[in-house]
Amino acid sequence: MQKIRSFQARWGRMPSYSELQDLFQFASKNAAYKLAKRLISEGHLQADETGRLKSRWVLPFAGQVVAGFPSPAEEELVDVMSLDQYLIRRPEASFLLKVTGDSMIEGGILPGDLVIIERGKSPKSGDIVLAQIDREWTLKYYKKEGKTVSLVAGNPKYPVLHPKEELVVAGVVGAVVRRYR
């Protein structure tokens, strides 16, 4: 798996079966196919509908930790977890955006964070949505009262937005990803 991870880190994509053959110095492409099939059956990789490989990296899942008062903890490997499986419910309808601006800081979304947007989901009042309001894109809380819809920032220095002409909700924020270093 390390060779495949290194390939993906270097090239930004999963290797083809021919590249798997070269990577593992197999004599045939069929051997690469068999390796991929085994890794897929073990849950390390996925293939899309065309047969191209997709990553499914899993990390050791070591239980939970208390963020309040410290308590005794035991380190044990509970399971493994795939971050994409945890963060993305519908990969075919999801995409990432990098956040700029500070209008959602009280919603836990900071400048530089990545948000995973899920398309095709009807927003509920209180959801954070990616919306186009009067031809400008923004990320805000969706608020619906009766037939009135507004977009509310998660920062009191920004006004509540009411569409004058048009409001298009492109998707609902499903997850936030932040790097600390």
Catalytically annotated residues:
103, 140
Return the number of other C-beta atoms located less than 10 Å from residue 125's C-beta.
12
8 within 8 A of 56, measured Cβ to Cβ: no
Q: How far is CA 11 from the centre of its chain?
A: 20
- Compute the distance between CA of residue 142 and CA of residue 151 in angstroms, rounded to an integer: 5
C-alpha separations of 35 from 1, 32, 57 in Å: 11, 5, 16
Instruction: Give 34-99 as a 3 state SS string.
Output: HHHHHHHHCCCEEECCCCCEEECCEEEECCCCCCCCCCCCCCCCCEEEEHHHHHCCCHHHEEEEEC
Assess contact for 118 and 89: CB atoms under 8 A.
yes
